[in-house]
Amino acid sequence: MELSREEYLNTLARKITAGGALFFNNKNELLLVKPNYKDNWNIPGGVTEAAEAPWEACQREVMEEIGLNRSINQLLCIDHKYVPEEKAAESLQFIFYGGVLTEEEIAKIKLQDSELTEFRFVPMREALKMVSQGMARRLPMCEEAIRDGQTRLISKMEESS
């Protein structure tokens, strides 16, 4: 039996994709934002929309979440995560380098009231304690990628907690 294109496409795996960016201040502290819908802090970014590339989603989300229009183009890492017990079991997380923000840019940060309650710049060591386990796994790899210019690939199968 021959499948139609639509039938064939329905057999393919679906993955959630997202793009986020690392921004630093002149003290090399990482910008974190506090979402109002979860316990952990996060980096600016979010889930891609239909027909949107991860870097486009990242740039859009940065604008929406913190009000900065910055070019996002240096890919630091891609994290493939699979948690079989979750409804959205499989995802690809893309993290980009947003760069060092000037004092003027930091002063212009305007949080998206509907999703974020605050932001702060913190040393990486402190950030690792504030973010989710998945993000804490990605951040050191991103630091390495910034230093040597080589994108990191991460893959992890997780058990639901």
Backbone angles phi, psi at 70, to 5 degrees: -120, 145
Q: Is 77 helix (H, G, I), strand (E, B) or coil?
A: strand
138, 22 Cβ separation under 8 angstroms: no
Backbone angles phi, psi at 142, to 5 degrees: -65, -40
Question: Each residue's pLDDT tens digit in the chain (161 positions)?
Answer: 788 999 888 888 788 899 999 999 999 999 999 999 999 999 999 999 999 999 999 999 999 999 999 888 899 999 998 877 766 678 899 999 999 999 999 999 999 999 999 999 999 999 999 999 999 999 999 999 999 999 999 987 654 44
CA distance 53 to 74: 14
Q: What is the separation, in whole angstroms, between the first and last Cα of the chain?
A: 42
99: left (phi over 0), alpha (psi -120 to 50) or beta: left
Kindly report whether the global pTM for this prediction surpasses the value 0.95.
no
Identify the pLDDT of residue 127: 98
Identify the pLDDT of residue 157: 62
Domains of the chain, each with CATH number or no CATH: 16-75+93-154 (3.90.79.10)
